Amino acid sequence: MNRSSHESRASDPGGPRLKTSAMIASLAAEGMPTKPAPFGHALCDVARQRDDIVGMTADLGKYTDLYVFAEQFPDRFYQMGMAEQLLVSAAAGMAREGFTVFATTYAVFASRRAYDFICMAIAEDSLDVKIVCALPGLTTGYGPSHQATEDLAIFRGLPNMTIIDPCDATDTEQATHAIAAYKGPVYMRLLRGQVPDVLGEYGYTFELGKARMLRDGNDVLFVSTGLMTMRALAAARHLRKDGVDCAVLHVPTVKPLDTETLLEAAGKTGRMVVVAENHTVIGGLGEGVARTLLGAGVAPKFRHIGLPDAFLDAGALPTLHDRYGLSENAVCASVKGWLDA
């Protein structure tokens, strides 16, 4: 269905069009605490300690929160214009001169438009470039031109590439420090603007390459990444009221996968494993988890919450999350249906 970016339909596809804001909607539920521009502020914290940190963008400093860095370190900020191949090629050149480069754009532009340049100029020689991208998965209503529903699949297949999908502001801040200390290429998904802050109450600390059990439970194990960890936690609280006891294993590092923690958690008998990701069901965390379990001979009841293998609609983001199964209510309905089947 081809629709303009400022219009969406009600739940009835034949119903009236609703005028809504489609580009970027807050992912925070009502009353949820938020932090402004956690990536931009964390990068500034790193840069105050290290003079090798450089920020570069392709005309999207405002929309990737790199403007915070640009304001504080204008002599280390490079605006490359709307030229993503140039952005990553220049980043590779800077890395060869000894800089640690943070290059930002939208996820669709990095994964689709600049992929070959990232592969040949950065990944092949394992250069110290961090590619940090806004609008991952279904975090905009602008339709297929801006919805990077397949970015994890694209970069999971690229040798030498570490992949991070933070859940919230705390995760983003800590991951920024961690990937700055790590030598090598990184692709990190970015939630920008006023970012929800939910992990603090769980005593969470980001560690590169490690998954974290945020809560335990006997009936369902959510294995989640990115914003879907927020949704899994909310769904777990909701399902508890219905007598369903849910664990949530947060997997911020999609590649390399923390197979030891995953197998230990999934090996607990009697509970269904539900992978939840803001990504197509093709080639993302779900397939990585399934391959790991199958290879180790661990065979729980397995289900997958993700986006369909399709070009998605444009429209209001909350409506789209309901439509494609990513909202809290949709997650709860899916889990209850699977348990009752």
List the catalytic residues: 84
The region, left, alpha or beta by phi > 0 then psi within -120 to 50, assigned to residue 297 is left
Strand partners, 148: 136
Q: In what order do the strands lie in the sheet with 77-79?
A: 77-79, 53-57, 100-106, 129-134, 186-190, 162-164, 253-255
337's CB contacts (< 8 A; 6+ apart) are: none
> Distance between CA 46 and CA 29 in Å, rounded?
30
- Residue 54's nearest CA partner among 18, 96, 117 is 96
Check: CB of residue 161 under 8 Å from CB of residue 139: no
Smallest CA-to-CA distance from 160 within 189, 129, 190, 136 is with: 129
What is the spatial distance between Cα 163 and Cα 299, in angstroms, rounded to a whole number? Answer: 26
Distance CA 136, CA 252 (A): 14
Stretch (H or E) spanning 332: helix 328-340
Closest CA to 306 of 272, 267, 280, 270: 280
Identity of the residue numbered 127: L
Contact criterion met (CB below 8 Å) for 162 and 187: yes
Amino acid at 203: G
For residue 230, the surrounding DSSP H or E stretch is helix 227-241
